[in-house]
Amino acid sequence: MASLAFSATSTNILPLYAAVSDRPVLFRGGSIFGKSIFSKKHNSKGLMVTNVATELPPTIPPPKKEISDDRKLAAWTSIRQERWEGELVVEGEIPLWLKGTYLRNGPGMWHIGDYNFRHLFDGYATLVGLHFENGRLKMAHRQIESEAYKAAKKNNKLCYREFSEAPKTDNFLSYIGDLANLFSGASLTDNANTGVVKLADGRVVCLTETIKGSIVIDPDTLDTLGKFEYSDTLGGLIHSAHPIVTNTEFLTLLPDLLNPGYMVVRMEPGTNERKVIGRVNCRGGPAPGWVHSFPVTEHYVIVPEMPLRYCAQNLLKAEPTPLYKFEWHPDSKGFVHVMCKASGKIVASVEVPLFVTFHFINAYEERDEEGRLTAIIADCCEHHADTTILDKLRLQNLRSSTGQDVLPDARVGRFTIPMDGSPYGKLEAALDPNEHGRGMDMCSINPNNLGKKYRYAFACGAQRPCNFPNTLTKVDFKEKRAKNWFDEGSVPSEPLFVQRPGATAEDDGVVISMISDKNGEGYALVLDGSTFEEIARAKFPYGLPYGLHGCWIPKN
């Protein structure tokens, strides 16, 4: 389906950078998927590659205060230019069956003018595409043209409220106006820098936690097509950054900040209309808990109520607090609710130990020998109810690689929600956290196992000491073991699993990740899903910033 068929339209001879070299080359234009005008050669594995590149727009200059000594690791530096595209040299063997495009979204530009953003989540969105076909790999990246990004470029300053940043007001009247815009949602960012999903009808949408930050992109060119406008009257300002998207439905949660609770909504393929399945009222706290993600089973939606709750007072502050727009309310306790997809009825609502999680991994229904539902199992990347993980994601902390072990511990937290009417559920480690270095986040699974009992998860773990997850990890829930891939000095992004066509084994496929390497470099990595051994890599023309979440678009 997707082909990343970008073209250079300039008729002037322009300097370019080949994907395999730092040396400039000259090019008059053309399509990287059209007839090749570059010489071809074979690498050490016998794979034919083409040295291709397209025109580069002006490089975005870094701010004067940009980290002068941290070009060794590109993960936490702004993208060097707005766009690039070309074919990469492959070392190793990419399976011939791997045909499609891996899209990855994430914050990629952390400055505007001379001003440096402070938090990982603040950066303007950079979309990266890796197109696999016939054992070859083409790469491209683009800035997502959100209103927030375009306004910042035009005015050379921050114009919308990002995760931890707010535009500076000149006087009291402008401050009052900013507050009014905040309550109406006008000043909230549409910087869709968190995830990217392919809807069942083929549309590809980039997302963040503001509802206005839903942006449709072209998966072939990575161009921004426009806003994804919801046609219903549900309103609201925020939603879960991670909806559940399948071939038949789109499910998400809408937190209600005024009457604390969550609406569970569904959107049918081919429509922009969300319909309410049901509502969950909060059992504790002054506001709903943060719902960055949530899991589902075959028949139920699992709604977490975390003690890390939205806080309007913190949102109004000009300078960020350690918990940003949230507040920790341990006295409010933690809860998990189970809603029937078909009826919208709440079939279980249990108190659980305090927890902090960004990302749920999967959930499934546990039944006895007679098929009766006994429990819901829900797995997540859980930070031992430690809220400091939020502040550890300040860019200053990530850029300060001192060799000390400062990454907060994390585990695969397994919730057991009894379905016998019990008021309490369990939360415990699904396996020894030392198996994955007591680091766990950015998980993916075989999508065929969504909502079903599963064996494997692919995530980012830790080899300590570190200040950020630095390994790729395959978790085996049956054996309660983990395999870890590690490249010293590098930062891998979320691993994405792609199953081999016709496979029956859950881990028969490949795992794709993008690596920010040392010395300002980076590369695409392909691991065998079963052995978790490297089978191919392809060097980028320069290191890319760290990315968050992605999706796979198969080529038909």
- Torsion angle in degrees (nearest 10) through CA of 416, 419, 422, 425: 10
Q: What is the 3-state secondary structure (H, E, C) of 2-70?
A: CCCCCEECCCCCEEEECCCCCCEEEECCEECCCCCCCCEEECCCCCEEECCCCCCCCECCCCCCCCCCC
Instruction: Give me the residue label for tokens 């006295």.
Output: 331
- DSSP string over 404-442: ---SPP-EEEEEEEESSS-SB-EEEESS-GGGGTT--EE
Q: Are 405 and 465 in contact (CB under 8 A)?
A: yes
The whole-angstrom separation of Cα 274 and Cα 265 is 6
- DSSP string over 519-548: TT-EEEEEEETTT--EEEEEE-SSPPPP--
Give, for 399, the enclosing helix (H) or strand (E): helix 395-399
The whole-angstrom separation of Cα 104 and Cα 493 is 9
- DSSP string over 363-393: EEEEE-TT--EEEEEEEEEE-TT-THHHHHT
- Give the distance from CA 68 to its chain's centroid: 28
Strand partners, 275: 266
Residue 124's closest CA among 78, 187, 68? 78
CA-based angle 47:50:54, to the nearest 5?
Answer: 150
- Give the distance from CA 491 to its chain's centroid: 15
Residue 285's closest CA among 330, 237, 338, 336? 330
Q: Cα dist. 99→22, 103, 125, 500, 540 in Å?
A: 28, 13, 25, 10, 20
Report the residue count for the chain: 556
Q: What are phi and psi of 397, to 5 degrees?
A: -70, -40
Count of CB atoms situated within 10 Å of the CB of 176: 11
Q: Classify burial at 96, counting beta carbons within 10 Å of its beta carbon; exposed 0-12, middle 13-18, buried 19 or more.
A: exposed
Provide the annotated binding site for Fe cation. Answer: 242, 292, 359, 549
Count of CB atoms situated within 10 Å of the CB of 318: 11
Provide the annotated binding site. Answer: 242, 292, 359, 549
Range list of β-strands (E), 159-273: 195-198, 204-207, 215-217, 224-227, 244-245, 250-256, 261-267
